[in-house]
C-alpha cells in the first residue's frame, strides 16, 4: 500500500473529479474543438455559396425555350443567346457512347481480376495499371485521343467527332468501373461460388448467373458514379468532340463535332458578351442538377444494398 | 460502529441506475455498493446488461451515441454523471481492461509510457514500465523487446500488457470486461493469479460469463438476469442478488440465482 | 432405378464442346478486356512520347528551365508552366490538407451529434460532384471579384515579398490556388474520413480507458493508426491538383511570361494544353506534347508514391 501512495504522488493530477475549464488540458481540448469546427465551416462555405449561386443565377433564367433551343454564336445577337438544347442532347450522347465503351470493358476486366486471375504478375500489373490510369490527368486522355483519332482522321475521314469525345471519356470511366467490379465481386462469398460450381455449373454460368447478380449494387453504384464524373468532364472534350452550334442529326451525327454542356460552359464563360455568360450559368444549373441526381441515385443504391445485407 | 464502517468501505455506489440506448433499455433500477479493496464479479446470462453497467462506471458509455443513464453512480462522494464532472478525470481514477486485447499500435514501452505521460507522471519512466510489466506478470516475455510493437506478443501476453498499461497510471479502481474470454486456459490462469495480487492495491470489478472464474477470483458477486418487463422493449437486465461470492454460490436467496449457478440456464 | 436409366435423364452429363467453348471464350474475352487497361496506358504513353520527340531532340533538358514560350519566334521552354503547376498544386495542398483533415476529424469523432456529422459529410461529398468547369465559372464571376480587394491589400502591404510583388489584375495564380483548394477539400476530407472510420473502436476505447482526453486520443492514437490512408489521400489529391485543367485554365490567366508573384497571371501545364493545343501547329504541338509528357511523369510518380506510401505506413492492429 505504501508503495502505491508513493507512486501516486508522482502523478500530477487534479485533486478532485470536477471539470476545470481553465485547466491546460481542457483549454487545449476546447481550442482544438473550435479549430475543427472552424475548418469544417470553411470547408462547406464555398459549397453553400456555389450551389446557391448556381441555383439563383442559373435556375432563375431557366425556361422551356432555353432548354430546347440552339445557342446563338457569340456576338450575333447581343441581347439573346439562344438555348442549350443541343448541348443537353450532346452531353447525353457523348456520355452514353463513353459508357457503351467503358462499361462492358470495365466489367469484363473486373471479372477477369476477381474471378479468373490467380494473383499472378499480370493481374498485379493490371490492378496497378488501373490505379495509374485513374490518376492520369483528363487533359492527357484528350491529347491522346486527339493524336490517335482526331489528327489521323481514323474514323471515315472525320476529325473532331462525338465518337472521339466518347472514347476520351471512356478512358476516364474505365478504371472506376474495373475497380468497383473487382471489389464488388470480391465481396461475394466464396461459399456461393463453390455451391454453384459444386453442382456442376460451368464457370460462365456461375459468374453470369450467380456472382455477377449478387454484386449488382456495388457495380451499379460504381457505374453511376463513373457516368457522373464523365458527364461533368470538359478537358478531354475540348479537342476531341469540340463544340457545335447545331443539332447533331443525320447519318454522320456521331462522326461530327458535337456540343456538350461542359464545353458550352467553358466556351461561353470566357466570352466577353453578357448574354453568353448568362447561358453558361443556365448550363451549369442543368449540369449540376443532373450530376447531383446521379450522385443521390448512387447513394440510394448503396443504401439499398446495405439494407439488404442486414 | 460497524454500520458506518461498512459505508466507508463502499468505493462505488450505484443508486437506482438505469441505462438505455435510444429507446432500448439495457438495464434497470440497479442498487449496488461495491466495496473498496475487494474483487467484485458481475455474472449473468448474456444480454443482462452487466457489461453496459460496468462501462457506465467510468463513463465509457459516453462514447456510444444515444446512450443515456438515469440514477446515480457515486464514487468517493461524487455523482459521476453530474454535468460538472470531467469524464477524463474519472477514467484516470477508474481504469478499464477490455474483452479483446487492444494494445496501441506502438512499441511495448510506449504502450505503457503513453498513459503515464498523459496522466502527468513525473517519476522514472523506465522504472514504472518495468514495475507495471512485472505486476502484470508479463515482464519476462517483454523485457528483451520493449521497442517492438505491442502486436508482436501473443493474445494472452497482449492482454497482460493492457493490464500493465492500466495499472501503470495508478487508478483506484480497475474495471475488467470479460478480460479472459478471448484467451486460452493458461493465459486465463495467469491473469486470475494476477488479479489476486492486484486486489491488494486496487479495487477490481470484473464482468465474467465464467462462473468458475467468478468463484476463483471474486470476494463479492452480483448476479444479473434479463426478463421481459412492463414498459420495456424486449428484455431488460436487472440485478437479482448481490452478496459475498460464498453466499451467492452456496446459499443464494433467489430462485433465479440458484438455477443459474447450478448451470440450469444461461 | 437402373444405372442406364439414370444416365438418360441427364442429357448434359458429359460437357458439350459448346459449353467448354463458351467457358474458354469467356475467360479470354475477360482477359482481353483487362488487357485494355494496359493498352490504354501504353497508347497514352506512346502517343505523348512520340509527339514530343521533335521538341525533346531540339531542347533536351533545357526545356525544363527555359521560361520563354513564344509561338512567333518558335522558341519554347516550359519553366513557367512547370513552376505554375508545382506552386499551385503544393500551395493549394498546404491549405487544403489541414482544412480537409480537420473537417474529417470533426465529422468522425464525437464532438457534435451524429446527425450534424452526417449532414456535413453529405455536403462535402456533394461538393466533390460539382464539375470543375462550374468551379471555374464561379471563380471567374464570383470568387475572384470578391477576393480582389483583399489581394490588392496584400500587394500594397507586402509588395516587398517577391511572391506578392505585382498588382492583382484579375485572373492569376492566387485565385487558381484557392479554387484548387475548393476542389481538393472533398477529396481529402472523404479519404481521411474513411481512414479515420476504419480505425477500430477498440483503440479509441483503449485510450479513453486510461484517461486520455479526446484530442490526446486523436493525435496520439487515432491519427497514427489512420496515417497511411490519410497520406495516400493527400498524395492522390496532389496528383489531381497537378492534372486539374478546367478550373485552373479559366482563372489562372494563361500567361506565358514568367513571374514569381502569385498575384500575377501564370500558367500550368494542363492549362497550357487546354488553351493552346487546339490551335497549335508545327513545333508548338511537339512542345505541348513534351509538356504533357512532363505532367504525365509528375502525376505518375506522385500516384506510385501514394500507393507505396499506403502500403508502407499501414500499421498492424
Fold of A65-309: MetI-like fold (1.10.3720)
At C3 the pLDDT is 58
pLDDT at C222 over 60: yes
Out of C19, C38, C216, the one facing A129 most closely (by C-beta) is C38
The pLDDT of residue A113: 93
**Quick check: C119 contacting A, CB < 8 Å?**
no
C65 touches chain B (CB under 8 A): no
- On the question of pLDDT at A93 being above 80, the answer is yes
Q: What is the pLDDT of residues A219-250, one digit of tens each?
A: 999 999 999 999 999 999 998 988 888 887 77
Residues whose CB falls within 8 Å of the CB of residue B123, separated by 6 or more in sequence, listed in order = A7, A10
Instruction: Give the per-residue pLDDT at B1.
Output: 35
Yes or no, beta carbons of C36 and A109 under 8 Å apart: yes
CA distance A87 to A278: 15
Q: Chain C residue closest to A285 (CA)?
A: C134
Q: Write down the pLDDT at residue A256.
A: 87
A144/C129 Cβ within 8 A: no
- Mean pLDDT throughout C293-309? 91
Compute the distance between CA of residue A73 and CA of residue A85 in angstroms, rounded to an integer: 14
Query: At residue A287, what are phi and psi to the nearest 5 degrees?
Result: -65, -45
A11–B86 C-beta distance less than 8 A? no
H helix and E strand count, chain C: 15, 2
HSE of C205, CA atoms in CB hemisphere, 13 A: 21
Q: How far is C173 from chain A (nearest CA, A)?
A: 17
pLDDT digits (tens, 9 = 90+) for A179-235: 999 999 998 888 888 888 888 888 888 898 889 998 988 899 999 999 999 999 999
pLDDT value of residue C7: 59
Q: At how many degrees (to 10) do helices A121-135 and C17-51 cross?
A: 50
- Round to whole Å and give the CA distance between C149 and C143: 11
Residue C141 gets which letter from DSSP? I
Is residue B148 less than 8 Å (CB to CB) from chain C?
A: no
Q: Does B107 have pLDDT greater than 70?
A: yes
pLDDT band for position A78 (50/70/90)? low
Across A59-88, average pLDDT: 80
SS3 state of residue C221: helix
Give the minimum alpha-carbon distance from B110 to chain A in angstroms, rounded to a whole number: 17
Confidence of residue C6 (pLDDT cuts 50, 70, 90): low
Tens-digit pLDDT profile for residues C20-61? 888 888 999 999 999 999 999 999 999 999 999 999 998 888
Residue B145's CB: how many other CB atoms inside 10 A?
13
- Measured CA to CA in angstroms, residue B84 lies from A17, A21, B79, B89 at distances of 9, 10, 10, 11
| Domain locations in chain B as residue ranges | 10-261
CB of B120 within 8 Å of a chain A CB? The answer is: yes
Cα–Cα distance measured from residue B220 to residue C228, given in angstroms and rounded to the nearest whole number: 47
With contact defined as beta carbons under 8 Å apart, do A239 and A146 qualify?
yes
- Is the domain covering B10-261 a CATH 3.40.50.300 domain? yes
Q: Is B74 helix (H, G, I), strand (E, B) or coil?
A: strand
- Which of C143, C240, C303 lies at the smallest CB-CB distance from A132? C303
Give the model's pLDDT for residue A158. 78
The pLDDT assigned to B3 comes to 40
Give the residue from B159, A265, A146, B30 showing the smallest Cα distance to C50: A146
Cβ atoms within 10 Å of B262's Cβ, excluding its own: 11
Identify the residue among C28, C131, C276, C286 best suited for mutation to test binding to A, counting A beta carbons within 10 A and taking the highest: C131
Residues C244/C132, Cβ–Cβ less than 8 Å: yes
pLDDT digits (tens, 9 = 90+) for A126-147: 999 999 999 999 999 999 999 8
C-alpha cell at B128: 514504472
Element (H, E) at C252: helix C246-252
The pLDDT of residue A310: 46
Average pLDDT over residues B1-19: 69
pLDDT tops 60 at residue A2: no
Mean pLDDT, all residues of chain B? 88
* Grid coordinates given for B259: 438455477
The full DSSP string for C67-96 is --EETTTTEE--HHHHHHHHHHHHHHHHHH
> How big is the B-C interface in CB pairs under 8 Å?
78
pLDDT score for A168: 95
Does this model's pTM top 0.80? My answer is yes
Quick one: which of B210, B173, B263, B216 has its CA closest to B43? Answer: B210
ipTM: 0.90
| pLDDT tops 90 at residue C188 | yes
pLDDT, residue B14, reads: 92
CB-based contacts of C116, cutoff 8 Å, min separation 6 = none
**Distance (Å, rounded) from C-alpha C48 to C-alpha C26?**
33
Using 50, 70 and 90 to split pLDDT, how confident is the model at B7?
very low
Least confident of B89-93, C78-82, C111-115, C137-141: C111-115
pLDDT at C315: 65
Q: C244 versus A152: which is more confidently predicted?
A: C244
Averaged pLDDT, A275-281:
89
Residue ranges with strand state E in chain C: 69-70, 75-76
Q: Does C57 touch chain B (CB under 8 A)?
A: no
Q: Are C254 and C175 in contact (CB under 8 A)?
A: no
pLDDT of residue A307 exceeding 50 = yes
Show the cell assigned to B164.
Answer: 500493465
C250 reaches A (C-beta below 8 A) = yes
Per-residue model confidence (pLDDT) at position A76 = 62
- Label residue C136 by pLDDT band (50, 70, 90): very high
B75 contacts B90 by C-beta, under 8 angstroms:
yes
As a whole number of angstroms, the distance between CA A74 and CA A87 comes to 15
**Whether the predicted pLDDT of B263 surpasses 90:** no
| B162 Cβ contact partners less than 8 Å away, ≥ 6 residues apart | B97, B98, B101, B102, B103, C206
- The answer to whether residues A238 and C278 touch, using CB atoms and an 8 Å cutoff, is yes
Which range is most confident: A63-67, B223-227, C135-139? C135-139
Give chain A positions within 8 Å (CB) of B95: none
* pLDDT tens track for B154-180: 989 999 999 999 999 889 999 999 999
- Identify which has the larger pLDDT, A65 or A277: A277
Residue in B77, B79, B88, B89 to test binding to A, most A beta-carbons within 10 Å? B89
Query: Torsion angle of alpha carbons C280, C283, C288, C289, nearest 10°?
Result: 120
Domain boundaries, chain A: 23-61, 65-309
Cβ neighbours of C1 (radius 10 Å): 6
Nearest by Cα to B78 from A16, C211, A13: A16
pLDDT score recorded for residue B147: 92
Three-state secondary structure of chain A: CHHHHHHHHCECCCCCCECCCCCHHHHHHHHHHHHHHHHHHHHHHHHHHHHHHHHHHHHCCCCHHHHHCCECCCCCCCCCCECCHHHHHHHHHHHHHHHHHHHHHHHHHHHHHHHHCCCCHHHHHHHHHHHHHHHCCHHHHHHHHHHHHHCCCCECCECCCHHHHHHHHHHHHHHHHHHHHHHHHHHCCHHHHHHHHHCCCCHHHHHHHHHHHHCHHHHHHHHHHHHHHHHHCCCCCCCCCCCCCCCCCCCCHHHCCCCCHHHHHHHHHCCCCHHHHHHHHHHHHHHHHHHHHHHHHHHHHHHHHHHHHC
What does pLDDT average to over chain C? Answer: 89
Q: How far apart are CA B240 and CA B44, in angstroms?
A: 9
* Contact across the interface for A112 and C34, Cβ inside 8 Å: yes
| Measured distance CA(B133)–CA(B159) in Å, rounded | 11
Q: What is the pLDDT of residue A275?
A: 84
pLDDT on residue A308? 60
Asked if residue B229 has pLDDT above 90, the reply is no
* Chain C neighbors (3+ CB pairs < 8 Å): A, B
Amino acid at each position: 500500500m505504501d508503495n502505491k501512495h508513493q507512486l501516486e504522488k508522482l502523478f500530477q493530477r487534479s485533486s478532485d473529479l470536477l471539470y476545470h475549464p481553465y485547466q491546460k488540458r481542457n483549454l487545449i481540448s476546447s481550442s482544438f474543438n473550435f479549430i475543427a469546427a472552424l475548418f469544417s465551416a470553411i470547408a462547406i462555405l464555398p459549397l453553400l455559396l456555389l450551389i446557391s449561386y448556381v441555383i439563383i443565377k442559373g435556375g432563375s433564367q431557366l425556361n422551356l425555350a432555353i432548354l430546347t433551343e440552339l445557342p446563338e454564336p457569340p456576338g450575333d445577337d447581343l441581347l439573346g443567346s439562344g438555348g442549350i438544347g443541343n448541348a443537353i442532347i450532346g452531353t447525353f450522347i457523348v456520355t452514353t457512347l463513353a459508357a457503351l465503351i467503358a462499361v462492358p470493358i470495365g466489367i469484363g476486366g473486373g471479372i477477369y481480376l476477381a474471378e479468373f486471375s490467380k494473383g499472378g504478375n499480370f493481374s498485379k500489373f493490371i490492378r496497378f495499371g488501373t490505379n495509374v490510369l485513374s490518376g492520369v490527368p483528363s487533359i492527357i486522355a484528350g491529347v491522346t485521343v486527339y493524336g490517335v483519332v482526331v489528327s489521323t482522321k481514323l474514323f471515315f475521314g472525320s476529325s473532331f467527332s462525338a465518337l472521339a469525345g466518347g472514347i476520351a471519356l471512356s478512358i476516364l470511366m474505365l478504371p472506376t468501373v474495373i475497380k468497383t467490379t473487382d471489389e464488388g465481386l470480391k465481396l461475394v462469398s466464396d461459399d456461393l461460388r463453390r455451391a454453384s460450381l459444386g453442382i456442376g455449373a460451368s464457370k460462365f454460368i456461375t459468374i453470369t448467373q450467380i456472382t455477377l447478380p449478387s454484386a449488382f449494387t456495388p457495380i451499379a453504384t460504381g457505374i453511376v458514379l463513373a457516368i457522373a464524373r464523365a458527364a461533368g468532364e470538359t478537358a478531354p472534350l475540348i479537342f476531341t468532340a469540340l463544340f457545335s452550334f447545331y443539332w447533331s442529326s443525320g447519318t454522320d451525327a456521331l462522326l461530327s463535332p458535337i456540343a456538350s454542356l461542359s464545353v458550352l460552359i467553358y466556351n461561353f464563360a470566357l466570352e466577353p458578351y453578357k448574354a453568353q455568360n448568362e447561358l453558361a450559368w443556365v448550363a451549369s444549373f442543368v449540369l449540376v442538377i443532373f450530376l447531383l441526381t446521379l450522385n443521390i441515385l448512387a447513394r440510394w443504391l448503396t443504401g439499398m444494398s446495405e439494407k439488404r445485407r442486414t | 460502529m460497524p454500520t458506518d464502517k461498512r459505508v466507508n468501505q463502499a468505493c462505488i455506489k450505484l443508486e437506482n441506475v438505469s441505462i438505455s440506448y435510444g429507446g432500448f433499455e439495457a438495464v434497470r433500477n440497479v442498487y449496488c455498493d461495491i466495496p473498496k479493496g475487494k474483487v467484485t464479479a458481475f455474472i449473468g446470462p448474456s444480454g443482462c446488461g452487466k457489461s453496459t453497467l460496468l462501462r457506465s462506471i467510468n463513463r465509457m458509455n459516453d462514447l456510444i451515441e444515444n446512450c443515456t443513464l438515469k440514477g446515480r453512480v457515486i464514487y468517493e462522494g461524487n455523482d459521476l454523471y453530474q454535468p460538472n464532472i470531467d469524464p477524463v478525470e474519472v477514467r484516470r481514477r477508474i481504469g478499464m481492461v477490455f474483452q479483446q486485447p487492444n494494445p496501441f499500435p506502438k512499441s511495448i514501452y510506449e504502450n505503457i509510457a503513453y498513459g503515464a505521460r498523459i496522466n502527468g507522471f513525473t517519476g522514472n519512466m523506465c522504472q514504472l514500465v518495468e514495475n507495471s510489466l512485472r505486476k502484470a506478470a508479463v515482464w519476462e516475455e517483454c523485457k528483451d523487446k520493449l521497442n517492438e510493437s505491442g502486436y508482436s506478443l501473443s493474445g494472452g501476453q497482449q492482454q497482460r500488457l493492457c493490464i500493465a498499461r492500466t495499472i501503470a497510471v495508478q487508478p483506484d479502481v480497475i474495471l475488467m470486461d470479460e478480460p479472459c474470454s478471448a484467451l486460452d486456459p493458461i493465459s486465463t490462469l495467469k491473469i486470475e493469479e494476477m488479479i489476486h495480487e492486484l486486489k491488494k492495491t486496487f479495487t477490481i470489478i470484473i464482468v465474467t460469463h465464467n462462473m468458475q472464474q467468478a468463484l476463483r477470483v471474486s470476494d463479492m458477486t452480483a448476479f444479473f438476469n434479463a426478463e421481459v418487463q412492463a414498459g420495456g422493449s424486449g428484455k431488460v437486465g436487472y440485478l437479482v442478488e448481490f452478496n459475498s461470492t460464498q453466499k451467492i454460490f452456496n446459499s443464494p436467496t433467489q430462485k433465479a440465482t440458484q438455477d443459474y449457478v447450478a448451470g440450469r440456464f444461461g | 432405378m437402373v444405372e442406364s436409366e439414370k444416365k438418360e435423364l441427364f442429357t448434359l452429363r458429359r460437357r458439350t464442346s459448346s459449353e467448354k467453348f463458351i467457358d474458354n471464350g469467356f475467360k479470354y474475352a475477360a482477359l482481353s478486356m483487362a488487357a485494355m487497361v494496359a493498352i490504354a496506358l501504353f497508347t497514352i504513353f506512346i502517343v505523348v512520347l512520340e509527339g514530343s520527340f521533335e521538341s525533346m531532340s531540339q531542347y533536351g533538358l533545357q526545356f525544363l528551365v527555359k521560361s520563354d514560350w513564344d509561338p512567333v519566334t518558335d522558341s519554347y521552354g516550359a519553366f513557367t508552366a512547370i513552376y505554375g503547376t508545382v506552386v499551385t498544386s503544393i500551395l493549394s495542398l498546404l491549405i487544403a490538407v489541414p482544412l480537409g483533415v480537420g473537417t474529417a476529424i470533426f465529422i468522425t469523432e464525437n464532438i457534435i451529434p451524429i446527425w450534424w456529422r452526417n449532414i456535413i459529410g453529405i455536403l462535402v461529398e456533394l461538393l466533390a460532384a460539382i464539375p470543375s468547369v462550374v468551379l471555374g465559372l464561379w471563380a471567374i464571376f464570383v470568387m475572384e471579384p470578391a477576393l480582389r480587394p483583399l489581394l490588392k491589400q496584400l500587394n500594397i502591404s507586402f509588395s516587398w515579398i517577391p511572391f506578392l510583388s505585382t498588382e492583382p489584375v484579375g485572373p492569376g495564380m492566387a485565385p487558381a490556388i484557392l479554387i484548387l483548394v475548393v476542389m481538393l477539400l472533398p477529396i481529402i476530407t472523404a479519404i481521411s474520413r474513411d481512414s479515420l472510420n476504419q480505425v477500430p473502436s477498440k483503440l479509441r476505447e483503449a485510450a479513453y480507458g486510461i484517461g486520455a482526453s479526446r484530442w490526446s486520443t486523436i493525435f496520439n492514437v487515432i491519427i497514427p493508426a489512420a496515417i497511411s490512408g490519410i497520406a495516400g489521400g493527400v498524395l492522390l489529391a496532389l496528383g489531381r491538383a497537378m492534372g486539374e485543367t478546367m478550373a485552373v485554365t479559366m482563372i489562372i490567366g494563361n500567361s506565358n511570361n514568367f513571374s514569381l508573384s502569385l498575384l500575377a497571371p501564370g500558367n500550368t501545364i494542363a492549362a497550357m494544353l487546354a488553351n493552346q493545343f487546339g490551335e497549335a501547329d508545327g513545333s508548338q504541338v511537339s512542345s505541348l506534347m513534351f509538356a504533357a509528357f512532363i505532367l504525365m511523369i509528375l502525376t505518375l510518380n506522385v500516384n506510385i508514391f501514394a500507393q507505396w506510401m499506403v502500403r508502407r505506413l499501414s500499421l498492424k492492429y
